[in-house]
Structure 1
């Protein structure tokens, strides 16, 4: 755990050094949050998702993105016909870390893929036939996103983003919309 946090801090510290004299922006996303266990997809927690990223563009293809956000999900009313075992998947956490975005810089519609490493501070509950995890604290996650940047300046994002939490055997994520605001161009 300490080793992972040390790697995250080194990555975030080196981001500013690597991205000198490049475009910078703030990217803010909001959307429909969800959480689901790894082993089943018949049910999921629903809720809210928001995230902010500091964008450091290395070139038109690659961005480095330190981020902070929140995901808050809960199960809706339990229906014995739909969920007879009272399975649960909830996530209430603060998310932070760093991602790299690889973008195909196509005019007006640019698809992208993001991957990175981060941490989650909060509480998670994953209850299935084979899993019964109710835990809170600091957890490592792996973020993964697929999306598109829209507009002549690619300043609108539509994305599906996921945070894989191996220690609690679930993923949290969102279908989100984001806006990017330039903060300085050298």
Structure 2
């Protein structure tokens, strides 16, 4: 099943780049502050780290984009909760992310709000340890990417947002506060 999901993502992204309904292609590069949190916890905490992602943006309409993506999420526990008290709970992610998303955006110059949803795979190591959960898993898991934010600038080529990846099989969410820039690809 996991191999089929990865193969499907590769086939779809390669076929979509040549589709006639694609009006414009660009590359979007995102970098940000990574965060991972467990679904259930007795302490209020978030493990932090680094997030980077590259996306092939395939514009179908001014308000609709298809986006195959690849990224990296690295978060580590510092052993403290939000009040700086020690905690043994953690929700760490060290994974390569890949998949596809659809972006709906308001086609407004200078400031365009957007929302994204999709399906993808996380490949790496995941650790969720709380009073309710004890998961230590390596390998491939599925995730559901959800993102929202603003495209900024006259041509909407700057991005300020939050990218979020629900990872149900390891009972944690990973995400990042991101900034990005888009580069148009010449045909």
TM over 0.5: yes
- Of 52-61 and 33-42, deviating more is 33-42
Matched residues in 2 for 1:21 and 1:174: separation? 28
- The TM-score with structure 2 as length reference comes to 0.90
* Shift, 1:11, TM fit: 3.5
Q: Does 1:82 align with 2:82?
A: no
Corresponding residue number in structure 2 for 1:183: 185
State whether residues 64 and 105 of structure 2, in contact with CA within 8 Å, keep that contact through their aligned partners in structure 1.
Answer: yes
Could you give the per-residue CA deviations for residues 86-126 of structure 1, whole angstroms, max 9, x where no partner exists? 11110000000111100011121000000000001100110
C-alpha distance 67-74 of structure 1, shift in aligned 2 (>3 A):
same
Quote the Cα distance in structure 2 between the aligned partners of 1:83 and 1:138.
31
Instruction: List alignment gaps of at least 5 residues for structure 1.
Output: none
Q: Quick one: structure 1 residues 118 and 21, their matched pair in 2 at CA, closer, same or farther if it must change by over 3 Å? A: closer
Structure 2 gaps of 5+ residues are: none
Deviates more, 1:5-14 or 1:124-133: 5-14
Name 1:149's counterpart in structure 2: 151
**Match of 1:184, SS?**
coil
5 Å matches for 1:107-118? 107-118=109-120
Q: Residue 27 in 1 paired to residue 28 in 2?
A: yes
Q: 1:81, 1:31 → 2: CA distance?
A: 23
Instruction: Kindly tell me the number of residue pairs found equivalent between the two proteins.
Output: 184
Partner of 2:122: 120
Partner Cα separation in structure 1 for residue 64 and residue 21 of structure 2: 14
RMSD (CA atoms): 2.0
Runs (4+) of structure 1 moved beyond 6 Å? none
How big is the shift at 1:44? 1.2
Q: Partners of 2:22 and 2:91 in 1: how far apart? A: 44
